[in-house]
Chains A and B, each alone.
Chain A
Amino acid sequence: MTEVVTEIGGPDVATSGPPARARQVLRTLRSDRPAMAGLVVTVLLILAAVFAPLLAALEGQDTTTFHTQLLDSARGGVPHGALGGVSADHWLGVEPTTGRDLFARALYGARISFTVAFGTLVVQLLLGVAIGLAAGFGGRVADATLGRLIDLSISFPQLMFAIALLAIVPQSFPRPVLLMLVIGLFNWGGTARLTRGQVLSLKTRDYVAAARLSGATPARIARREILPGALPQVLTYAAILLPGNMVSEAGLSFLGVGVHPPTSSWGQMLSTATTWFRADPMYVLVPGLSLLTAVLAFTLLADGIRAALDPKASLRGRR
């Protein structure tokens, strides 16, 4: 008959139990070809980043040696030969004006990119989940205050602060760690909002009321009834933050406040490439396409996971 089953609350709180749910999610994910492609590329890229020294050694190059003999000084230091000096020695050619090996520099760029992206994620999750939980569990005043703070942090162009902060912190502070802290510090709003929403929605469930009636303490209710429902959603969402973090790192390095030379980073390479796009397109394409591939692969994978859990939330919007 008219089953008046009212769906209360959050974007998606699974209505089925864990084992069947997990199996179903895995099955959906496995049949999702774009997501699988994303997974393969992601794994390859991470392997390449981890084994960067090995791969560079295989090529026989490093990131810092100048190869000025390969440059055409008459044309302002553009590499000799086609495609920015691609050769058996230099698989992706060399950098203009310095002649440093691009393959090696791109590989080490991946290391920075991924390290910062994952490190930032940890900061974001710690901050976002903590603030979200505080807002969700903390009662009306805490929720109102923190809720405002969350809204503000989402709509505010925090990168402005990030630039100011990055510009004035002394060079002695390890740059990648600083980047993780700064990007994380200014980008936790989404995680916090989701955590808060999940907690608030789950709190209204009748099974939470039933747990209260059974005499369970608030701590037990949070641990046993609410967190197991909220955290999977938050963690899934976190995956989609990774590509965003990579873009943030590249953007800050592009603006000249990210990692400092001689450490190589995709954003920084792109920043110098700005003046070479006519004379040496290869110098734009190597870091540009590396970043693009990585961001796309991570996005496809993360979105696939999300689509498997909640099709409506997917970027591709499969319903």
Chain B
Amino acid sequence: MKLDDGIKNRIRALSNRKELPDKTPYTCISVNNIISISGNSGISCREIEIASLEEEIIPERYVRNMKSFSATDQATLLKSRITIVGLGGLGGVVTEILARMGIGILNLVDGDVFEESNLNRQFLCRENLISTLKADAAEKRIKEINSSVTVWIHSEYLNEENAEGIIGDSDAVIDCLDSLTGRFVLERASKKVGRRLVSAAVAGSYGHITTIFPEDPGLKFIYGDPENAPNKGAETSLGALSHCVSLTAALECSEAIKILLKRGSLLRNKLLVVDLNDNSFETMQLI
């Protein structure tokens, strides 16, 4: 997107020269100045941040990313759209991380409300939010973290009818669901609309994660044929522990960011298996 020179001049005028702890110099702009330019111009904070990055002026909120991501990389993340399906244990942490990373559009899907049993692991769940919509809590949380993120919420469950429309133009889709049936619905839709899917599941201290391209065999290599797969797995007896859920969710974010930036190796046709009981992390070949 092209912003007029007046906006770019304003960004430059409000920028500061600073140094990282290792003395690397950089030019940055503060959150408050981005919000101020946005307020005065009517242009979204996201567009102001992208324009700033195009001038090699780093929004201060992303400065700790800059040794790993170039200004162009950070702008790519801000231009990206990720759909998060399920806003429970995995989805709450994924939402938190991706908002902080500056993924520009977060498209969130969950028709559920919070229950007390969610409090042990679901970062979006709070005592005063029991019985309220998870999607509403996610939107509020993202806005508190990063006003440059555009949030779209779907307070409904994903199903065969709505799935393709909801995930449509996403650059990546993240499966944070809690049922095998739902996961297969999401995978079918992702394949149909040609989107890349990151899928993870947890039970107790155990978690696994994979990345599925539309042409890959995907979940049937993990769960067997969808017609014969149960709706729920080992989590019905083991529950899910917060530290394992959070770790697995963080691994999903890592995969999603590599998809967006087209770098690093993905868990494609592989399953990363984590068992925190014996600290084992092993990447298995699915084909």
B is a partner of A: no
